[in-house]
Structure 1
Amino acid sequence: MCGIAGFVGEKARQRTCQMIEALSHRGPDGVSVQEIGRACLGHAHLKITGDYPQPASTAGMTFVYNGEIYNHSNFLPGSNSDTEVLASILENNLDGFINAAPAVNGEYAFAAWDNNQIVLVRDPVGIKPLYYGNCESGFGFASERKALLRVGIRDIRSLSPGCLLAEGQERRFADLPPMQPIINDEAEAVRRLDEALGQAVRLRLHKDAAVTFSGGIDSALIGAMAPATPLLTVGLAGSFDVKAAIHAARAIGAEHRHTVYEVTEKDVEEALPGVIYAIESANPVTVAIALPLYILSAKARKDGYKVLLSGQGSDELFAGYARYEAGFKEGRLQQMLDYDQHHLAEVNLERDDAAAMASGMELRVPYLDLSVVSLARQLDPSLKLRVNGKDYIRKYVLRKVAEKYFPPDVSGAPKKAIQYGTGIQKTLERLARSHRCDLAGYLQTLYKVVLV
């Protein structure tokens, strides 16, 4: 993973250099820029897979790329670089990628200078971010909004997932698999989900990887399916998540690979300016959710990790939120899930990417592997939300998979939102009271200091 940016117009090199400087935290392993006519492309490198130099050129096209293609060897046997594979796919023309896209297993955002125009492309789920906008001097794009703001671009848009931008217009080239609830047999669903998720986890493993481990069912399953990978937990001493994670680690015999990063109120206060700058928001909910990942990523990076496996996306795929119960009663569950899955990028993924990449940490999301997404969208709603008397069992089929790895008190554990489970929410509220204002006002004051 990395940071990418570029500009087409006046002083393109100067502006691209300014943007790449703003993205240097995303690529601690080196930066480079390349001018092509009236355009300039830049790249901040986080070395994970291979060492293919960027910006890269192929058959008259120059591109910069942020992402991972996990099945890259299927396209170019013998290659250890997914960037090289992308170059080979683009070798003929951009249509070569569009045709190959359904077979690409991974996440990506890239920009190509092709036939004297800039083209932007983003994966169907929107796992990797890409923003763009215009100013009087020209057109720019970048992995984070702050880079575009640095060169005077104010009208900033996020490229929609599964879309290609060319000549100022977005057009869709890929979408999520169809929502077709054709699987209603529980045993088949459990077997296929176990296989698909296990394969998705294995594809995303890396020698410098760890699992963000809250002890909840989503992260616990990833931890069980990655039996040699370290498990990292963050939270205040005695918090719900710390206790749950310790219990879940014991349940799979993983105490030896489990690390708890206990944080204090002082740690939270010191991290606040950094997380607000990273996610470019003072929204209390957004900040409270991003803070645990931001702190964990910083500590993990210091301990030598470069990749984090996260359980993001599970709730939207398998009906993990309480609000889905009302949708189920009203016969709207499928519609709600479809909407949330199509808006994952703007609601969750862009925030989490920014929080992790602030420390140069690549975030990988096995639940959003397209094979897992496709399977989830084929499951009957009753396999996601099961009525049990007066109660509802959310993420039912995922819990049935978890029963193969955990005792019932782990596989059936209730969900607790990360800001509450880690103790971060109460800590933020105490900090706000100590500054004699409400939480929104406290965060807005910090926002004005770090971003305005």
Structure 2
Amino acid sequence: MCGFIFTNKPVDDVQRVNRYIQLRGPDHTSEIHRGSYTFIHNLLSITGAFTPQPTMSDDQAVFCLFNGEIYNFQEFGEFENDALCLIPLYQAHGPAFTRHLDGEFAIVLVDFSANCLVVSTDVFATKPLWMAIEGRRVGLASYASALLELGFAHPEKLPANTTWVFALEELSLQERFTVFDFDPRHQEKTGCDDWTAAFQKAIRKRAVRNVREKIFIGLSSGYDSGSIACELSVQQVPFKAYTLMGRENPKVLAERHARIRPHAEMELLPDDPAVRNATHGFLMAHVESFYYRIYSGSSNYNEFNLDLRDDHGATSLGMVAVAARRDGRKIYLSGQGADEIFADYGFNGHKIYPHSNFGGRFPEDLAAIFPWPSFYDSSMLSYLAKEEYVAGAYGLEARYPFLDPAVVQEFLWLSSDLKNKWYKSVLHHYLVSHDFPMGVNQKFGF
């Protein structure tokens, strides 16, 4: 969970411009200048060797800022850190190097020798990236506040699954392409085995390989966190589960705690109003304002007037984050994306939440609705911001196994009958096949 700023505007007060972003990377802050360009990076060191950024090519012609994790970096050579693979990969493949990456990332790469600026989000834009271009002035940053402080009038949050290539000096767009191409046209698989294998691999790459820091989850009695907890236990990964007591199924929780006990620590957090108020106050002081962009594609419903900081779920996550940071745990496995991808916040045509688009009834012709609003946008964009902004304020890294492209693609390939067989069909099948406690058709969590 790093954060960065790149601009060719003068940066007169780094502390002010970097105020919110610095919290994302508490281990080290670097400020590098190259001509009129400023690179600022805040490091949260999670994987491999301690590596301040920007990274640079040997001839110092190419600079790279990176936030996130590249899970397949060792496929590209012997690198001490995932950030170190990016420039060599660019030198081998050009701007299309982003299509070779398996990870959660935001990247800004500058090739001064080729007058080239490469900007990329990952498949779901899990790591926030904002941009502003005004004439010959450019700003890119993890949060909009930095660009506003620099004097840019209208920073825009960059959308998911996109790489942009600009001419550096002219700031003219040269090329734009997707990072990953989903296939929504084939729905032929009639079993969940391939999805389960993809999910197991998604957990392994986020919780087993190249993991130096301790892992935690927020455990409810719902499907999403239950599946993550179960698979962590299957793979015998040490972790801690924090449960915020509220609207949960106590019987399911007790049974889950008994099941994961050999591999996990557990803590029940009371939903104390004083603690909740204090946590909300922290978020108001340390998280910049971000208004949700949640809407339904099948009604006039929207939540455009809700500030992330006032979301009950954001405060709940903050309460878990306080406990995790107290315990020295830095890697948070989030269940974000399961509602958006596997259920559309509904089941069998019934909207569990009003921002559902089609009530969770997947059509035979999936391509006709793909991508539905919350696949990339709406609640996906908004709740990813919640996870990133809140975890970032506490210097924690969020990872998203349900948004692994292979996990999502395997779900898309399932027949519509299998998608619609149960609420969150793949998670239902996974939990039942592992005999893991669950409340059937119950939606829980914060």
TM-score for both structures, normalised by structure 1:
0.81
Question: Is residue 397 of structure 1 aligned with residue 421 of structure 2?
Answer: no
Question: Is residue 177 of structure 1 aligned with residue 182 of structure 2?
Answer: yes
> 2:29 is matched with which residue: 31, 34, 37?
31
**Shift of residue 164 of structure 1?**
2.7
> How is 1:105-120 mapped onto 2 (pairs within 5 angstroms)?
105-115=102-112, 116=115, 118-120=117-119
**Shift of residue 137 of structure 1?**
9.1
- Counterpart Cα distance in 1 of 2:39 and 2:229: 38
**In the TM superposition, what whole-angstrom CA distance separates every residue of 1:153-201 from its partner, at most 9, and x where no partner exists?**
2301011212233225472232441113333322xxx211221101110
**Shift of residue 273 of structure 1?**
3.0
SS at match of 1:65: strand
Q: What residue in structure 2 maps to residue 352 of structure 1?
A: 387
SS at match of 2:349: helix
Q: What residue in structure 1 maps to residue 371 of structure 2?
A: 338
**Shift of residue 400 of structure 1?**
1.0
- Counterpart Cα distance in 2 of 1:361 and 1:32: 19
Check whether the contact 1:384–1:397 (CA below 8 A) recurs between aligned residues.
yes
> 1:273 is matched with which residue: 281, 296, 299?
281
**In the TM superposition, what whole-angstrom CA distance separates every residue of 1:94-134 from its partner, at most 9, and x where no partner exists?**
x5351x43332111111122234543211122111100124
Amino acid at match of 2:330: K
**Shift of residue 241 of structure 1?**
6.2
> 2:240 is matched with which residue: 224, 231, 246?
231
**Shift of residue 256 of structure 1?**
5.4
Question: Is residue 304 of structure 1 aligned with residue 328 of structure 2?
Answer: yes
**In the TM superposition, what whole-angstrom CA distance separates every residue of 1:177-236 from its partner, at most 9, and x where no partner exists?**
1113333322xxx21122110111011113411122123111111111112332322424
- Counterpart Cα distance in 1 of 2:109 and 2:338: 32
Question: Is residue 257 of structure 1 aligned with residue 265 of structure 2?
Answer: yes
- Counterpart Cα distance in 1 of 2:438 and 2:370: 25
Q: What residue in structure 2 maps to residue 214 of structure 1?
A: 220
SS at match of 2:270: strand
Check whether the contact 1:252–1:406 (CA below 8 A) recurs between aligned residues.
no
Cα distance change, pair 123–15 in 1 and its aligned pair in 2 (3 A) = farther
Cα distance change, pair 105–175 in 1 and its aligned pair in 2 (3 A) = closer
Question: Is residue 46 of structure 1 aligned with residue 40 of structure 2?
Answer: no
Q: What residue in structure 2 maps to residue 424 of structure 1?
A: none
Check whether the contact 1:234–1:263 (CA below 8 A) recurs between aligned residues.
no
SS at match of 1:274: helix
Check whether the contact 2:20–2:288 (CA below 8 A) recurs between aligned residues.
no
SS at match of 1:48: coil
Amino acid at match of 2:340: E
- Counterpart Cα distance in 1 of 2:17 and 2:226: 38
- Counterpart Cα distance in 2 of 1:204 and 1:124: 16
> How is 1:77-96 mapped onto 2 (pairs within 5 angstroms)?
77=78, 79-91=79-91, 95-96=93-94
SS at match of 1:232: strand
Q: What residue in structure 1 maps to residue 129 of structure 2?
A: 130
**In the TM superposition, what whole-angstrom CA distance separates every residue of 1:303-335 from its partner, at most 9, and x where no partner exists?**
100100011111222125127625366948835
**In the TM superposition, what whole-angstrom CA distance separates every residue of 1:275-315 from its partner, at most 9, and x where no partner exists?**
34525147548412222112211220121001000111112
- Counterpart Cα distance in 2 of 1:285 and 1:54: 32
Q: Which moved more, 1:130-139 or 1:63-72?
A: 130-139
> 1:245 is matched with which residue: 234, 238, 253?
253
Amino acid at match of 2:218: T
Cα distance change, pair 350–284 in 1 and its aligned pair in 2 (3 A) = closer
**Shift of residue 264 of structure 1?**
0.5
- Counterpart Cα distance in 1 of 2:313 and 2:247: 15
Which consecutive residues of structure 1, in runs of 5 or more, have no partner in the other structure?
A: 387-392, 420-452
Amino acid at match of 1:151: L
**Shift of residue 367 of structure 1?**
0.9
Q: What residue in structure 2 maps to residue 439 of structure 1?
A: none
**In the TM superposition, what whole-angstrom CA distance separates every residue of 1:18-46 from its partner, at most 9, and x where no partner exists?**
43343111111010011111111110000
- Counterpart Cα distance in 1 of 2:15 and 2:307: 33
RMSD between aligned alpha carbons?
2.7
Greater share of helix residues, 1 or 2?
1
Check whether the contact 2:337–2:402 (CA below 8 A) recurs between aligned residues.
yes
TM-score for both structures, normalised by structure 2:
0.82
Q: Which moved more, 1:299-308 or 1:151-160?
A: 151-160
- Counterpart Cα distance in 2 of 1:198 and 1:103: 21
Check whether the contact 1:128–1:353 (CA below 8 A) recurs between aligned residues.
yes
Question: Is residue 410 of structure 1 aligned with residue 438 of structure 2?
Answer: yes
- Counterpart Cα distance in 1 of 2:362 and 2:18: 49
Q: Number of paired residues?
A: 401
- Counterpart Cα distance in 2 of 1:324 and 1:8: 52
- Counterpart Cα distance in 2 of 1:102 and 1:117: 17
- Counterpart Cα distance in 1 of 2:370 and 2:256: 28
- Counterpart Cα distance in 1 of 2:339 and 2:395: 26
Check whether the contact 2:145–2:288 (CA below 8 A) recurs between aligned residues.
no
Amino acid at match of 1:80: E
